[in-house]
Structure 1
Amino acid sequence: MKIVKLSILLIILAINACAQVIIEERDTTSLDREQTEQLTFSRREISPVKATMMAAALPGLGQVYNRKYWKIPLVYAGFGALGYSIIRNSQNFDGYLGAYQDITDNVPETRSYEKYTPSFDSGEIDPALGADNYNPQTHSWVKDQMLNAISYYRRYRDLSYIGVGFWYILSILDANVDALMADYDISPELSLSVDPVPIGTVYGPTMGLGIKVTF
């Protein structure tokens, strides 16, 4: 094990001899007490439980607590993308579902399917219109395509909802792991201590502080 001692000299110089003696006596008394104590550094402690609870209460709040501010845009970008996917897939699902209902309800006035079948004449695919050019095969094919579209958009809408739940859990786990790693030390033998050390100067003996790093 290696020990590296880095000494930081804290020397107080006096202008006259009287002032010098007073300062030395006061410092000696103070540092004598410090010799029986080890100076420690305090740091902000991060609680994994608190980080987890905050992330669960509001996405991104756990990252704020951990001071991982750069992750907050990523958290909300994920929710934004999934939210957009839900909206778009829901709109298309509702649209194709309504079109399928209109083309099969035998009501001439309901023609929302025309939005999705611009290449076909309404009379050709809607039997309710009683048009001469009605084609049962075309009608059946259009219905099948609409059913496929309904199934497609419903599937991806549901997957988007699942994705929101997954992303929510992932953001909580991220906050928890960050909080746990905040106190992780890759070198368990690494230590740092600060101790008073005697220093000899031209004005007489005084005291300084020594930083000892052990690894």
Structure 2
Amino acid sequence: MKIKSLFLGLMITSSVSFAQVKTDSLFIVDKVINDSIATKSALTEKSPIRASLYSAILPGAGQLYNKKWWKAPIALGLVGTGTGFTIYYNNLYKKYRKAYIAVREGTPNEFTGILTAQQLAVIQDDYKRKRDYSVALTALVYLLNIVDATVDAHLFSIRNDPEMTFKPTVLQDEMTLEPVLGLAFNFKF
């Protein structure tokens, strides 16, 4: 019986001690400060993964996400222009390839009597090379678009840090005493 009453007493005291809520003023102030810091950091940081995915889906969308409005039309225009050149050169390559095959088989086409098979082969190879270069450059611009969005997202919180500034200043040259444009880096801690 003594063991049962001791066990019951321990259960009651432990449940009462777990049920108490800490209402200390320091606890409340600490919670408010931590919540405000978490909210501030969530508002000033950008997700690099999200920025790179946006740019991968639509070139320039990652730049819009990072609030670099002026970069978005440049990225979209470069990728679009590269795609346009690729399509243009591919169509010309197909046209001259078809004409080359027709001349080799002896069937009449629009270049019969104007260009020889050897000339058509050279023209066809030239357009194929231009198409391949266009594809490579377009792929490079597309990847640079994604890398740019990712790096901007990583550096977003640093760029908006008021304690670290990087701005142009006018300095005086020690030899000629003329004003010279320079860069100043200020760091407050």
TM-score computed with the length of structure 1 as normaliser: 0.52
Q: 1:46 & 1:106 partners in 2: Cα distance?
A: 63
Bigger relative contact order (CA 8 A; separation at least 6): 1
User: 1:168, CA displacement in angstroms?
Assistant: 1.6
The Cα RMSD (Å) is: 3.2
2:117 to 122, 135, 143: 143
Q: Is residue 96–residue 113 contact of structure 1 (8 Å, CA) maintained in 2?
A: no
SS at match of 1:78: helix
Map 1:76-115 → 2, pairs under 5 A = 76-107=76-107, 110-114=108-112
Query: Which residue type is aligned with residue 157 of structure 1?
Result: R
2:177 alignment counterpart: none
Q: Which has the higher helix share?
A: 2
Map 1:1-215 → 2, pairs under 5 A = 42=40, 43-107=43-107, 110-114=108-112, 122=113, 142-184=116-158, 190=163, 215=189
Q: 2:130 & 2:136 partners in 1: Cα distance?
A: 10
Structure 1: any 5+ residue segments left out of the alignment?
Answer: 1-32, 115-121, 126-138, 192-213
Structure 2: any 5+ residue segments left out of the alignment?
Answer: 1-27, 165-187
Change in 2 beyond 3 A, CA 1:169/1:185? closer
Query: Which residue type is aligned with residue 152 of structure 2?
Result: D
Greater Rg over alpha carbons, structure: 1
Q: Is residue 102–residue 113 contact of structure 1 (8 Å, CA) maintained in 2?
A: no
SS at match of 2:45: coil
Query: Which residue type is aligned with residue 82 of structure 1?
Result: G
User: 1:68, CA displacement in angstroms?
Assistant: 0.9
Aligned residues: 133
TM-score computed with the length of structure 2 as normaliser: 0.59
Residues 83-119 of structure 1 show CA distances to partners (whole Å, capped at 9, x for unaligned) of: 2211221121112112212222123xx22215xxxxx
User: 1:186, CA displacement in angstroms?
Assistant: 10
Q: Is residue 59–residue 168 contact of structure 1 (8 Å, CA) maintained in 2?
A: yes
Q: 2:62 & 2:133 partners in 1: Cα distance?
A: 26
